[in-house]
Amino acid sequence: MWTSSTLARASRRSPLVITSTRNEIEQQYGLYNYYDAERMAVVPPGTDLHQFHPPAADEEFGFAPQVDRFLDSPGKPLILALSRPDERKNIAVLLEAFGQSKALRDAANLLVKAIWTDIQVREGVADFIVSLVPANPFAAASSGAILPLIVFTALVAAATGTLAAERRERLTNIAEDVSEALIKLVWWILYTAPIGVFGLTAPVTARLGWDLVQSLGVFIISVFAGLVIFLLLVTLPLVYLVGRISPGRFLGGTFGLWRELFTTKSAPRNAE
């Protein structure tokens, strides 16, 4: 098994990298700093039936006796799935599909052999620790890698704490100013969001008719009614009984945030 660090080194030094799908190039190799699209090629997977084929009548598998004792019908063809126990290998989906298909179960047996060696486990732990420190924090932020971004932020904060008070205060002021600028940008986006939503829904409505709008209206009303019922029957009683806060005071203090959440489905900043 190749680790991410091994893949990075191989990608940097290899004159040609062959993958089985375009998605593998874009979603895996494309994340490395040494990615070069011109050195990538796709060769779809396949099987050479001259070398790999079901056994003939006079052929036997060496491991057949070990497998047959676990099967109710050893004579049926065998579907063999061999991979490491990784979620990306879709072993669970394979088991679910086989279990739900009676025709498939009647036609063949399924054998899943998932192997994970101690070396792979150690390499996986080492890669995880290394991945916590992003090589490019901006790339981590744009790709949604939250954990490495949190670690980077914590390290920067720790380093900032060791500076002199004047420099520390200067960095803090810069961070606050950047945060305020980003919040202002988010507000601009929220103000213009209805225009974008209208631009997205207008062509769909023109093609599909007003029935779509009516269905959307019923959905919005249902969601709003459900939220009101939840507020009246769950939230306000808990606030009054557990928090000892009157419903009027609670609604008055959270009205701005509730209005923002209802109109934008987003909260650019916490309620003050």
Are 254 and 246 in contact by the 8 Å Cβ rule? The answer is no
Band of residue 233 on the pLDDT scale cut at 50, 70, 90:
very high
- pLDDT value of residue 181: 92
The tens digit of pLDDT for each residue in 134-191 reads 778 888 777 777 888 888 888 888 888 888 888 888 888 998 898 899 889 988 988 8
The tens digit of pLDDT for each residue in 58-80 reads 766 666 777 777 888 888 888 88
- pLDDT value of residue 46: 67
Does the pLDDT at position 227 exceed 80? yes
pTM over the 0.85 mark: no
Taking each continuous run of H as one helix and of E as one strand, the counts in the chain are: 12, 4
Are 135 and 152 in contact by the 8 Å Cβ rule? The answer is no
CA 90 to chain centre: 15
Q: Give the tokens for residue 194.
A: 């209805």
Pick the more confident residue, 7 or 86.
86
The HSE-up count of residue 228 (CA atoms within 13 Å, CB side) is 6
User: What are residue 80's DSSP bridge partners?
Assistant: 111
